[in-house]
Structure 1
Amino acid sequence: MQPADVSTASPPPGAAPDWIIPQDWSRYTGEEHATWDRLFERQAAQLQTRAAAGYLRGLDVLRLGHPGIPDFDVLSERLMDLTGWRVVAVPGLVPDEVFFRHLANRTFVAGRFIRRPDQLDYLEEPDVFHDVFGHVPLLADPVYADYLQAYGEGGLRSLGFDSLDHLARLYWYTVEFGLIREGGALKLFGAGIVSSHGESAFALDDASPNRLGFDLMRVMRTRYRIDDYQQTYFVIDSFEDLLRRTLETDFAPLYGELASLSDLAPETVLPGDRVIHRGTQAWAQSRARGAPNGG
Structure 2
Amino acid sequence: MSEPVSKNRYHDAPRATDFTIDQAWDTYSSAEHDRWTRLFRRQREIAKGRACDTALKAMSNLELSASGIPHMGELSDKLEKLTGWRVVPVAELVPDEIFFDHLANRRFPAGAFIRPEAEFDYLQEPDIFHDIFGHVPLLANPVFADFMQAYGKGGQRAMQLGQLHNLARLYWYTVEFGLIREGDDLRIYGAGILSSPNETVFALEDDSPNRIAFDLQRIMRTKYIIDDFQQTYFVIDSFDALLDACYKDFGNVYQDVRDADDIEAHETIPQDGLIHRGTLDYFRNKVKA
TM-score, normalised relative to structure 1:
0.92
Match of 2:87, SS?
strand
**Which residue identity lines up with residue 240 of structure 1 in the other structure?**
D
Alignment correspondent of 2:285: 286
Taking a change above 3 Å as real, the CA distance of residues 123 and 265 of structure 1, as seen in their structure-2 partners, is same
Any idea what the Cα deviations from partners look like across 1:131-189, whole Å, max 9, x if unmatched?
11000011111111111011001111111111111000000000000000011100000
Match of 1:4 in 2: none
Shift in Å, 1:285 = 1.3
Note the C-alpha offset of 1:258: 1.3
Q: Offset at 1:35?
A: 0.5
What RMSD in Å do the two structures reach over aligned CA positions? 1.2
Q: Does 1:49 align with 2:54?
A: no
2:144 — aligned with what? 144
Q: How far off its partner does 1:256 sit?
A: 1.5
Q: Is the 8 A contact 2:154 2:249 kept in 1?
A: no
CA distance in 2, matches of 1:162, 1:138: 29
Give the conservation status (yes or no) of the 8 Å contact 2:36–2:66: no
Tell me if 1:129 matches 2:129: yes
Q: Does 1:250 align with 2:227?
A: no
Query: Percent same amino acid at aligned positions?
Result: 53
Q: Which amino acid aligns with 2:63?
A: R
d(CA) in 2 for partners of 1:125 and 1:200?
Answer: 18
- Three-state SS of the structure 2 residue aligned to 1:279 is coil
Extract structure 1 runs of 4+ deviating beyond 4 A: none
**CA distance 1:115–1:13, shift in 2 (3 Å):** closer
CA shift at 1:117, angstroms? 2.0
Question: Counterparts of 2:158 and 2:274 in 1: how far apart (Å)?
Answer: 30
* TM-score normalized with structure 2 length: 0.94
Report the residue type matching 2:101 in the other structure.
R
Q: Does 1:120 align with 2:114?
A: no
What is the CA–CA distance in structure 1 between the aligned matches of 2:91 and 2:179, rounded to whole Å? 29
The residue aligned with 1:273 is 272
Q: What is the deviation of 1:43?
A: 0.6
Secondary structure of residue in 1 paired with 2:152: helix
Q: Does 1:239 align with 2:239?
A: yes
> For residues 82 and 26 of structure 2, what CA distance do their matches in structure 1 show?
26
Equivalent pair of 2:115/2:127 in contact (CA under 8 Å): yes
Letter in 2 for 1:14: P
1:45 corresponds to which letter in structure 2? E
Give the Cα–Cα distance (whole angstroms) in 2 for the partners of residues 121 and 66 of structure 1.
17
* CA deviation profile, 1:195-254 (whole Å, cap 9, x unmatched): 00000000000000000000000000000010100000000000000001111x431121
* Structure 1 SS opposite 2:130: helix
Q: Which residue of structure 1 aligns with residue 6 of structure 2?
A: none
Shift of 1:287: 2.1
Structural mapping, 1:51-130, within 5 Å: 51-130=51-130
Distance 2:169 2:273 in 1: 18
Partner in structure 2 of residue 3 of structure 1? none
SS at match of 1:287: helix
> Number of residue pairs matched?
279
Q: Distance in 1 between matches of 2:64 and 2:288?
A: 39
User: 1:205 aligns to what?
Assistant: 205
Kept in 1, the 8 Å contact 2:13–2:21? The answer is no
1:221 aligns with: 221
Unaligned runs of 5+ in 1: 1-10, 291-295
The 5-angstrom pairing of residues 185-196 of structure 1 reads 185-196=185-196
Is 1:171 the counterpart of 2:165 in the alignment?
Answer: no
Superposed displacement of residue 66, structure 1: 4.8
Q: Which runs of 5+ in 2 are unaligned?
A: 1-10
Partner Cα distance (1:37, 1:12) in 2: 26
**Mapped partners of 1:139, 1:129: distance in 2:** 15
Task: Call closer, same or farther: CA 1:13–1:76 in 2, change over 3 Å.
Answer: closer
Q: Distance in 2 between matches of 1:158 and 1:266?
A: 22
Report what 1:159 is aligned to.
Answer: 159
- State the alpha-carbon separation in 1 of the partners of residues 77 and 227 from structure 2: 35
Deviation at 1:118, TM superposition (A): 2.5
Q: Quote the Cα distance in structure 2 between the aligned partners of 1:289 and 1:131.
A: 34
Aligned-pair distance for 1:278?
A: 0.2
The code of the aligned residue for 2:227 comes to D
In the TM superposition, what is the alpha-carbon distance from 1:12 to its structure 2 partner? 6.9
